[in-house]
């Protein structure tokens, strides 16, 4: 064995003094830093920790509203006294009725399915109007959109019946 393999890391009294001082200061500085971080007194606060930012991150990604048109943003919302804008039967079917009648959800007859619509059409269009306005089985009144007028619901029924003939 050579003598160089077992030489000490600290060779002078000055190096010994530096190592002893650092062995005390480094842990103390780490402890102070950690306590400042935990108590929130550290000056590197992020904007992501503000309550508004946290609330925005934990909000649901989407909200489901079947049969109701999305609400307008507050900046462009119509005044409360504004009158109802009439929708065509095709628009009502696209926005409200089509949710179930396109896919046949909850037993709804699919648009254009003549076999499914034949018995319903056979009961008469007035019966279909009443069912659409008042609701029947899984279908809510007015397709779930209470703001629809009777005329709009009837126009939507006419559109569905025309597709089912």
d(CA 149, CA 132): 11
- Contact assessment for residue 120 and residue 109, using Cβ atoms and an 8 Å cutoff: yes
Q: Report, as an integer, the average pLDDT of 132-157.
A: 86
Instruction: Using the Cα atoms of residue 84, residue 87, residue 91 and residue 97 in order, give the sign of their dihedral.
Output: positive
CATH 1.10.357.10 for the 89-164 domain, yes or no? no
Residue 11 predicted with pLDDT over 50: yes
Q: Give the pLDDT mean for 106-123.
A: 84
- Report the alpha-carbon distance of residue 67 to residue 92 in Å, rounded: 9
User: With contact defined as beta carbons under 8 Å apart, do 96 and 160 qualify?
Assistant: no
**Residue 136: strand, helix, or coil:** strand
Task: Parse the chain into domains and list their residue ranges.
Answer: 10-57, 89-164
């Amino acid at each position: 064995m050579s003598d160089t393999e077992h030489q000490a890391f600290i060779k002078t009294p000055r190096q010994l003094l530096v190592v002893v001082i650092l062995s005390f200061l480094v842990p103390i500085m780490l402890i102070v830093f950690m306590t400042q971080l935990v108590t929130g007194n550290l000056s590197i606060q992020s904007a992501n920790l503000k309550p508004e930012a946290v609330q925005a991150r934990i909000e649901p990604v989407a909200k489901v509203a079947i049969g109701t048109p999305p609400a307008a943003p507050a900046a462009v919302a119509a005044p409360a006294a504004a009158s109802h804008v009439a929708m065509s039967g095709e628009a009502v079917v696209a926005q409200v009725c089509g949710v179930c009648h396109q896919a046949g959800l909850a037993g709804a007859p699919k648009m254009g399915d003549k076999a499914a619509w034949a018995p319903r059409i056979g009961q008469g269009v007035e019966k279909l109007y009443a069912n659409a306005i008042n609701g029947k089985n899984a279908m809510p009144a007015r397709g779930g959109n209470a703001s629809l007028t009777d005329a709009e619901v009837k126009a939507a029924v006419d559109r569905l019946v025309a597709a089912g003939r």
